[in-house]
Structure formats: structure tokens, C-alpha cells
Amino acid sequence: MGNDPICKFFLDQRNFILKEGPIQGTPWYRRRLSIIWEDVRGWILQHFHKWKQVRQIARRHARQQQESGTQSNKGSARYYFDNPEWESRPALDLINEYLNKLEAVVIDAEAQFAGKLAPKNLR
């Protein structure tokens, strides 16, 4: 799985969330007002830019669908990752493909270790 691009993408996303996410060492009530303001301002700007980027991707996909003559179900929302490598595929399709690969690994592991990990009283 280490060489699979989808698995690597999700691993990188997980590692960023767990290890590099927006973590502040000092509790909010002990920070200077200027630091709190900068944190709030940065959070708002970050989400605004993310929102703009997601809208651009969605408009691009809608334009491509219109040009190709395919219409999507307007009742269902489509989400895309903002990573340039994966922005052309809906996020749910990528997640389903990733979960299918993980399921195959789990099935293989269960078959390989069947009976070896169960407690003796359950065998």
C-alpha cells in the first residue's frame, strides 16, 4: 500500500491532521489580545480562501459536465479535494476506492492469521 498514490495521499492527510494541525501551546485565556485577533483573522481568511478554492473547482467541474453534455444530479452535493492531483475526482469516489483497498488488506490479514489471534477459550 506504500506505493499506492491514493493510500499515500490519505496517509499524508492523516499525518498532517494529527501532527501538524493548528495547535497552540498556550490556552486562549492566557494569550495576548493581539495574538487572539491574529488567530481569529487567520482562521477566517484560511476558510474564506478554502471556500473560494472549492467554489472554483466546483465551477470547473460544472463547466466540464456542461461541455460534455452530462448532467449531474443537482440534489446531490459533490465534494472535491483541493490537492491538484485529486481535484478531478469526487472525494467520495476516492474514499470508496481507498476503503476497498483497506478492506482487501483486512480480509487478507484475517485469512493469514485466522485462529492464531483468537483466545484459546474461543477456538
Q: Is residue 8 part of a domain?
A: no
Q: Is residue 17 part of a domain?
A: no
Which pLDDT value is given to residue 88?
77
Report, as an integer, the average pLDDT of 90-110. 89
Residues 38 and 73 in one domain: yes
User: What span, in angstroms and rounded, lies between the C-alpha atoms of 105 and 80?
Assistant: 26
Per the listing, cell 480562501 goes with 49
Residues 121 and 96 in one domain: yes
| This prediction's pTM | 0.48
* Of the candidate ranges 3-17, 42-56, 65-79, the one whose mean pLDDT is the lowest: 65-79
Three-point CA angle 91, 24, 33, nearest 5°: 115
Residues 33 and 75 in one domain: yes
Residue range(s) defining the domain that contains residue 122: 90-123
Q: Is residue 64 part of a domain?
A: yes
Residues 65 and 99 in one domain: no
pLDDT one-digit tens code per residue, 26-40: 666 777 888 888 888
Sign, Cα dihedral of 67, 49, 89, 74: negative
C-alpha cell at 9: 495521499
User: What span, in angstroms and rounded, lies between the C-alpha atoms of 31 and 36?
Assistant: 7
Residues 101 and 65 in one domain: no
Does the pLDDT of residue 75 top 50, yes or no?
no
